Every structure is written in structure tokens, then in C-alpha cells.
Structure 1
Amino acid sequence: MELQKMSGHSTDDGFDGLDALAEHEEFLPHKTGVKKEIHFTDFEGKTSFGMSIFNLSNAIMGSGILGLAFAMSNTGIILFLILLTFIAILSAYSIHLLLKSAGVVGIRAYEQLGYRAFGHPGKMLAACVITIHNIGAMSSYLFIIKSELPLVIQAFLDNPEHTQEWFLNGKILIIIVSTFVILPLALMKQLGYLGYTSGFSLSCMVFFLISVIYKKFNIPCPLDDTHINMTSTVGDHSAVNETDHFCEAKLFTVNSQTAYTIPILAFAFVCHPEVLPIYTELRNPTKKRMQNVANISILAMFVMYLLTALFGYLTFYGAVESELLHTYSRMGSPDVLILCVRLAVLVAVTLTVPVVLFPIRRALLQILFPDKPFHWARHIGIAFGLVFVVNLLVIFVPSIRDIFGIIGATSAPSLIFILPGIFYIRIVPEDQEPFLSRSKIQAACFAALGFIFMVMSLSFIIIDWVTGESRSGGGH
């Protein structure tokens, strides 16, 4: 799943010396006229081309896939396809900028590119953006636990009508899961076996996609409670027309929720902090070879995202919720297939949270305690603080749509558009690419486009909040 390739973050302990060497040696002024061949490090990559595709696909894949059907319901099929294609192409171009910048100076980490471009402030900026994005990812995973675990427990009860029990309260359940499962795993000094959960997580999402396609042909439309949901969530689904048109797919539509589409798509395609570590570990690494890895991975996720959004939308149409899996709870009678999907996704996201926490802690240690040796008090304190903060976010945020929206409108455009563009302009020397060259002008426009996306998305989301529309976005 997204952010699970911690090869360049959580497993970087063995390469801290190389990063330090990059900062102290690679950034020394080069003699004029001397052509120096740049190597990434002395680390010899041994990962095959196919496995690199798997790793990057796994880095792209994440909880954002659960919000894509909701995005399609608020844009229409054609507009969603255009936007999805647009974001996928821009993501591939963004990776091209990162690889070109990394190739110039031989740096293997996103934060180190920030250091090369703007010194220590650039490194801090990149670390902060990655930290914010990973906190958003952690929040989205815990939100899935909050919404799905009560439904799983309820399915095993003899009398599922009793829904007021404390163990069916999602807010209490995430505190229990965080205390007894996530926090102990996050306190480990090394990731260990948690690094292998990525394959299981990706398998869960493939299982989820197959189930979504299968259920499309087994769920009638409209659902029995369509009238109820249309009445109770009228603000959330303002684009829903009269009941007789409810099961008609829309090709183009715009409403107050359309503002969340680009942030949701951007959130779903973020993998950029993992690109350079995967590049470093690639066997026979070249920019062209790694770009092919990126293009194939993005294409594979593009197809998977499109199928998930399309079949999820064509199952529930305007009644789809911002977390697709939760929408299946409307079917009434327990469904064994959906229950299995819920269980698989719950296990995957629960094991993913501590994996995502490791690079956040590493970034915070670099920001707050640079050059300090490992200390258990800091290790435990940061883990506890992060879990506590994320739990507060998930308890008080009413919908996963808000998490996708805010993170997708802030850190995602920064990681995909803004930072790669300005890093490229600053790092690639003028003797290779003049400041007014076509490539640097394109990179500047690319960064400006990301800034525009950020401002527009945030503005529309804030307007949506202020007007009080659709506060029940997740159906919770």
C-alpha cells in the first residue's frame, strides 16, 4: 500500500553514513570545466526490474483507492477519466524531474534533494511535507479501522440489532487497537517482519477490486434504503437527482463535492518519497530504466483505480460514500464476501500504520534531534505522541473525505508538483540547462500548476466547510 516501501526511510539506518557523505562531499563546489561522473552511492542495487515495479506499485497503492468511486460520483465518468489521466501523466513527469535532479548530484533521498537545492531549510521543508503526508496516511488507515471494525464485529454478533454496545463504537475501538496492537509494533527498534506486509496489503486491494467488480452484478439498484439515504444525506449527495433517475450513470456533473476530486486523486498517486530509494536499489540503475519502472507502475495503478472507481460508482451511483467499503453496509443482510474483504483490509491497514510511523519518527528526529544517537526515551516518546495525535484527528474528523481532501490539497501537490519542479530548477546546473531553457520553464510551470491546484482545492474545501454543506460526507 501507499508509503509502505520504507526501503528509503525506515530501513535507512544503514545508509545514514552515505547520506551524510552526500551532504559533505557531493555538495562541495566542483571545479569548472571538470566533467564528473555522478554515482548514486557505493550501494549496489540488486532488485530486479519486475520487483521494482511491484515495489513502486505498492508505494502508489493506498487507502486513497477507497475514495475514488465517491470522486467519480461527483464528477461523472468522462470528467473523472480526464482528471485521472491528467494526474497520472503529471505524476510520471514529476518522477522524470526527480530522476533528472537525482542524476545530477547522485542523491538517493527526497530530503537530500531539498538540502542540495536550498540547503538546510530545503531539507527541513521536504521532511515536514513528507511528515504531514504520512500523518495523513496514518489517519486515513485508522479511519478505515474506525468505520469498518464495528461492522465486522457486528457481523459476528447473534443479535446484530444491538448497535449501542461500547465495543461497536468506532472511536473506542481505534483507541484499543492503537494501544494494544499499533503502539507495541511501533516501539520496535527495527521494522523487521512489518516490512513484508506490503505484499499482503497489495493483495488485499486486488481482492477488494475483484469483489467490487463481482458485487456490481449482484446488488440491485436502487438499494432498499435509497430513499432513506437520499433524505438523510441530502447535503452530502446534492448531485443526486430524483429517484427515477437515481440509477443513471452521469458522464459529467459538478457539485460542491467536486472540489475533493483532484485532492483525492493526488493523494492516491503520491509515491515520490519512495522513488529514489527504489531507484537506488534497482539492478543496473539508469534514468531510462527507472522511468520505465515508474511508467509501468503508474499505468497499472491507473487501470486498477479506474476499474475500482467505475464499478464502485455503477453499483451505488449517487449513494456511494466517501469510503467505498463502508457503502456495502447498506445491503442489510450479512455478506460473507464483503466481510472477508473487510477483514483483509483491516488487517492490512492495521499492520501498515506502524510501518508508516517509522519514517515520520525518523524525519522528526532529523528535525528536532539532529546528530543525536539512538535513545529509547525519544524513540518511545515520539511514537506515543504520533499515535495520540493521529487518534485525536480520527476521533474528531467526521469523514475520511476530509482527510483525503486536506492532505490531498496540501502535501500531495507539494510532493508531486511543487517540490520536484523547484528542485529541478535549482539543482540542474545552468551549463546543462539554462534558466530560460524549455525544460526549466516547463518545470516552473509545473510547480506553478501545483500551487494553483493547492490554492483552488483548499479554497473550495474551506468554502464547503463554511457553508455547512455535506458534513455527513462519509455517512457516519
Structure 2
Amino acid sequence: MELQKMNGHSREEGFDGLDVMAEHEEFLPHKTGAKKDIRFTDFEGKTSFGMSVFNLSNAIMGSGILGLAFAMSNTGIVLFIVLLLCIAILSAYSIHLLLRSAGVVGIRAYEQLGNRAFGPVGKMLAACVITIHNIGAMSSYLFIIKSELPLVIQAFLDSEENTGEWYMNGNYLIIIVSVSIILPLALMKQLGYLGYTSGFSLSCMVFFLISVIYKKFNILCPLESEDQLNETLFADNHAAMNETGDICEAKMFTINSQTAYTVPILAFAFVCHPEVLPIYTELRDATKKRMQGVANISILAMFVMYLLTALFGYLTFYGGVESELLHTYSRLGFRDVLILCVRLAVLVAVTLTVPVVLFPIRRALLQILCPDKPFHWVRHIAIAFCLIFVVNLLVIFVPSIRDIFGIIGATSAPTLIFILPGIFYVRIVPEDQEPLLSRPKIQAACFAALGFIFMIMSLSFIITDWVTGESKSGGGH
């Protein structure tokens, strides 16, 4: 599955035709007989449109959804919606650039696009960025499992504190989850098979969203302890609201020292670009228009989910929302059954997302190590096992990996979303189709420049945090 046969890659000439003609010639050769000639993959794409939407939506949705309410508290509702909408549109445009570049040269691998644009250096750069970013994403998901699963088990056992038993140790739990759930799913030959687990993962996050909306009308601001919530009258709580001033007041527009973190958080929340071309490869009856439809629906669905989660999470806790939304709900105590179910749903969702994130890393490594060799089960299994092993070691032995993730996210996310798609488009689309000073190429160049601005801005915030000794940002991908 991971290794594509670039049989049409030798067609260096003949860019005179339209993109549609190139796509049909390269991706969808007409049936000349009983058989259909498979040109770019070692199997025929069989994943349905709906399953592809599930897979891409699952790739977009990350742990960053837990930090969006915190982001809204630092921007205000109106500014947050504007920023979220802009990032969603830019992400869809970025995918358009990738698909357009792929359609011109008949390549559906991010690394091979890099090779076509800049030779071996471009191929290595794309593969390294994908590998680093997705390893960071996998690690962030396993960190959630490491921190949240012991709390869920503790709640099920009705224990007031962690007893120190092995089944309450997060390090043991992530190993068990990795071996029993993540590894078997990562051994699937085709990414399309994960459409069912991706659909279930998204269902868990929809349950999380419904619970956030329900809790908005169930929790009075300011948030109090569990016993007080059961005993305090609304009148007393309303009096407390008056004493706290604007803590329980929704702000439409605000700017503070933490507002600048919102753009990187939102940008990272829409990173799915390493998974776009693998999903495109496995899409049934694949065309650029059909895959762009998959991307647009996925981005729209995540835009709605992100917006509702941030809005109702913020309107529940207002100025008291924490950088990780689930931590804020923890003030209700372990006996809140709904919050316990939400924790479990989030755990299931991030667990089922890890295999989807692993596939592009394996593809990138295969493109670097053995690009011309056919699919082989031993390599397929060995790479998955080694990746999961390395990520487990990171999560277990690195006590505070947040700053490392910050550097990875500040460099790899803008590179994948803005810089590489923009410069690939400028380099790959031939000048006889679009001159260098044509509007599409100027837009793509400006898009890449915007990525550099995001990168510099994000790195500046992280360095400032290190220098001042503060830790302000919340959420990751």
C-alpha cells in the first residue's frame, strides 16, 4: 500500500494539455479491455467517498480541539470566528495547491512532489518534515492516554487517589494500548480500511461536543466544587457572579498577551496535509475534483465542530477556562458520570487516530529508504513496530516534551500547510500553462511567504516563553 509505482513519472514531457487531461491520462486511464491499467499504485483505489471523508476528518481532528475554548477566551468570540474561518479557507486552498501539483505530474506522494520540484533535497526535506511532525502528533496523543486513562480507571474503581498499582501507571497503560489496539490497526495494508475506525473516532468526538453543549446549560458560573454545585441556589451563584465582575461575561473581541498564540493553535488544528495524498491514492474513481470535495467536506465538518466546541466550552467557564478543556471539567469531581464518559470517548478518539497519523510516516520512510521496491509485509510491519516503539520511549522517558513539541509544531506545521504546497506549485506547474508572474503562481508564492511569517511568529513566542519562564499557550495538534 505504502509504496507507489510511479510508472508515469518518466513522462517528463507533454505538459501542454489541461490539468483535467493530464489527470485522466495519468490517474484514470480508460479501460481498453476487461482490465483497468493501474499506473500509480500497486492496487486499485477502493475507498469510498464517505470513508475518505472520515479518514481525512480524523486526520484533521487532533488533541488541539481541547485547547480551542482557551484560545477563544483570549481573542473574544468574533475575532476567534474570523481567525478560524480564515485558517479553514487557507487550509482548503493549500490542499488545492497540492492536488493541482499532483495532477500535473501524475504523482500522489508528498515526497515525490518534493523530488519533482527540487530533486533529492526536496524529497528528503518533505519526508523529514512529515516524519517529525507526525511523530510529534503521535506522541501528543499517547501523552493524553498516559495522563487521562489512569484517571478513568481510578474513577471506575471509585478510588479517591492513585494507589500506585501497575494498572494505574500511565507508562504501562500506553504500552498495553499500543500493542493491543494501535499496532494491529497500523498493520493494515491500506489506509482506507481505517475508515470504519475513523468514523467511530469521529462519533466519540461528536459525543464530546454534545456533552460540552449540554454542560453549558448544566453548570452555573463561576464554577464551584461538586458538593456546592448540588447545594447552592441559583440566587447565591448569581450574587457570586456579580462579585467576580467580568469572569462570567462573554467577550466579543479582546486582545491580551496570549492572543497571539491563537493563530498558531488554529493553524496546527487543521494540519492534515501528509494524509491528503495517501487518501487521494486510495479514493475510488479518484479525480482532483472528487478529492477536493473530500477535503472541503472534511474541513467544513471540522470547522463546525471546532467552533461549537470552543464556543460552548468558553460560554461554560468564560475567563476561568483552562488551556485543556477536560482539566476544567475535572473540577466537578470524579463522580460526574457524563464527564467520565467524555474522558473515555476522547481517549478512544485519540487512540484510533494514531494509526491514521502513522501511515504517512511509513510512506515517507519508504520513499527515502527503498523508493523503487514493491510492497513487502516484513518492511510494512517492521516500520510500524519501530515507530510505535520509538514514540512510546519518547512518551515514557521524556518528562516534559512540551517545548520539543512546540519547536516541532512551530516549524513543521507552517511548512506542511503553507510553505511546501506553495513552492511546489510554483516549481511544478509548467510555465507554458501558467507563467511565473501569473496570478495563481503569485498567490502561491505569497501563500508560502505567509508560512514563513507564521513560523517566525511561533518560534518568537516559544523563545519568549523560555526567556521569561512562562508557559502560556495551550493545545497542540
TM-score (norm 1): 0.81
Distance 1:315 1:392, change over 3 A: farther
What is the aligned length? 441
1:150-299 correspondence runs (5 A): 150-162=150-162, 167-178=167-178, 181-183=181-183, 186=186, 196-224=196-224, 243-282=244-283, 285-299=286-300
Distance 1:284 1:153, change over 3 A: closer
Partner of 1:12: 2
Distance 1:279 1:168, change over 3 A: closer
**How far 1:419 moved relative to its partner?**
0.7
Query: Is contact 1:264-1:408 (8 Å) kept?
Result: no
Q: Secondary structure at the match of 1:220?
A: coil
Partner of 1:144: 144
Q: 2: CA distance between counterparts of 1:404 and 1:393?
A: 11
Query: Is contact 1:267-1:404 (8 Å) kept?
Result: no
Query: Is contact 2:54-2:202 (8 Å) kept?
Result: no
Distance 1:377 1:412, change over 3 A: same
Q: Secondary structure at the match of 1:246?
A: helix
1:26-68 superposed Cα distances (whole Å, 9 cap, x missing partner): 3x2449x788941343546565555544443333223222221
1:390-469 correspondence runs (5 A): 390-395=391-396, 396=398, 398=400, 405-469=406-470
When structure 1 is superposed on structure 2, of 415-424 and 127-136 the one drifting more is 127-136
Q: Secondary structure at the match of 2:418?
A: helix
Partner of 2:350: 349
Q: Secondary structure at the match of 2:82?
A: helix
Counterpart of 1:346 in structure 2: which amino acid?
L
Distance 1:434 1:22, change over 3 A: same
1:334-377 superposed Cα distances (whole Å, 9 cap, x missing partner): 12222222222223322432443343233223323454677787
**How far 1:309 moved relative to its partner?**
0.8
Give structure 1 stretches of 5+ with no counterpart: 1-10, 227-241
Distance 1:380 1:466, change over 3 A: farther
**How far 1:117 moved relative to its partner?**
1.1
Q: Secondary structure at the match of 1:334?
A: coil
Query: Is contact 1:263-1:407 (8 Å) kept?
Result: no
Give structure 2 stretches of 5+ with no counterpart: 30-37, 39-43, 227-242
**How far 1:225 moved relative to its partner?**
5.7
Q: 2: CA distance between counterparts of 1:170 and 1:382?
A: 24
Partner of 1:332: 333
Query: Is contact 1:221-1:247 (8 Å) kept?
Result: yes
Partner of 2:238: none
When structure 1 is superposed on structure 2, of 96-105 and 292-301 the one drifting more is 292-301
Query: Is contact 1:398-1:471 (8 Å) kept?
Result: no
Partner of 2:69: 69
When structure 1 is superposed on structure 2, of 417-426 and 162-171 the one drifting more is 162-171
**How far 1:470 moved relative to its partner?**
2.7
Q: Percent same amino acid at aligned positions?
A: 82
Partner of 2:304: 303
Q: 2: CA distance between counterparts of 1:410 and 1:273?
A: 15
Query: Is contact 1:72-1:313 (8 Å) kept?
Result: yes
1:251-310 superposed Cα distances (whole Å, 9 cap, x missing partner): 333444434322221222122233334445555554444434433332222111100111
Distance 1:447 1:380, change over 3 A: same
**How far 1:190 moved relative to its partner?**
7.1
Q: 2: CA distance between counterparts of 1:470 and 1:432?
A: 49
When structure 1 is superposed on structure 2, of 304-313 and 46-55 the one drifting more is 46-55
Counterpart of 2:469 in structure 1: which amino acid?
G
1:103-159 superposed Cα distances (whole Å, 9 cap, x missing partner): 211222222211221122212211111112211220121121022102101112243
**How far 1:317 moved relative to its partner?**
2.4
Distance 1:181 1:100, change over 3 A: closer
**How far 1:399 moved relative to its partner?**
7.5
**How far 1:464 moved relative to its partner?**
1.1
**How far 1:175 moved relative to its partner?**
4.2
**How far 1:327 moved relative to its partner?**
2.5
Distance 1:251 1:171, change over 3 A: farther
